[in-house]
Every structure is written in C-alpha cells, then in structure tokens.
Amino acid sequence: MSTLIFTQVWCPNRLRCALLRWFGAEVGDGVLIKHRVRIQWPWKLTIGDNSWVGTDAELYNIDNIVIGSDVCISQHSYICTGSHDRRSPTFEFDNGPIILEDGVWICARSTVLRGVTIGANTVVAATSLVTSDVPSNSIVRPPPAVVASS
C-alpha cells in the first residue's frame, strides 16, 4: 500500500490522510503529507491539526511518534524511534517514543532520535541531530563547519 499508492506523487493528500487513519493513525484536520513520506507503522502515529510532513521525510516509528498541531517536518528529515543496545549480547532493541510539541519546526535533513521530546515552538535548524530533550522556544543548530588551512 505504501509503495504502490501512499508515497506516489499522484496520490492526493486527502487519500494519504485517509490511508493513515484506516491503518490506525490519529490524524488531525488540515494535515498535509507530501509524496515519498515513509511511515513504518501508522498505528503508532499521532498528528495534530495543521501539521505538515515534507517530501522524503521518514517517520521510523517502531515506537510512538506524537506530532502536535502546527508542526512542520521539512523534506528529508528523519524521525527515528528505534535503536539497539550495543552492549547487549543479543543486540536488544532500545526504542523510545518521540514527541514534537505544538509549533515545532524540524528543518530539512535534520534527525531526531528515540526518546526525545522537543518543546513547543522550537526550531531544529537544517542538518541538526537531536539526541536529548529540547525545552520550548529553543533553537537547535548544527555545529559549524571547521575550515582547516592547507
């Protein structure tokens, strides 16, 4: 269903939202899901009103992802609830939910890892990596490039 219909550019947004609901997601009003968005398990996804998920974003939700209202997840972002315990002899799962509170903006090519809550009205700048909770009204920036002399 995902590859044949949901991710295709010709699939209307209204149908994408309906498919998510049919498979157990909670999707608010005015939600926009662009094409080529990948969602692992719809029944572990909640999206509030007027939120937006950009082209090629991936919501790898083997645990719950809760997206508030008025949230923007920009293109090529990766929201990942899963990991493994590297110290485990059997490489056990080490998953955790992700919560994006109201008004959050996850800019292009950013990554949010498992167990993180990003507070309301926070901006995660392009290419940032978020590994721990972020308070409301914050700006998360990636490290600047270091230019070395030759």
- Residue holding tokens 């090519």? 109
Q: Write the CB contacts of 76 (distance below 8 Å, at least 6 apart in sequence).
A: 54, 55, 56, 57, 108, 109
Length of the chain equals: 150
Q: Which residue ranges make up each domain of the chain?
A: 2-138
Per-residue pLDDT, 120: 98
* Phi and psi angles of residue 22, each rounded to the nearest 5 degrees, phi first: -60, -30
Question: To which CATH superfamily is domain 2-138 assigned?
Answer: Hexapeptide repeat proteins (2.160.10.10)
Per-residue pLDDT, 101: 98
- Distance in Å from the first CA to the final CA of the chain: 52
Consecutive 10-residue averages of pLDDT for the chain (150 residues): 70 90 97 94 97 97 97 98 87 92 98 97 97 97 84
Per-residue pLDDT, 135: 98
Query: How far is C-alpha 30 from the chain's CA centre?
Result: 17
Task: Name the token pair of 122.
Answer: 């926070």
Per-residue pLDDT, 96: 95
Burial of 77 from C-beta contacts in 10 A (0-12 / 13-18 / 19+): buried
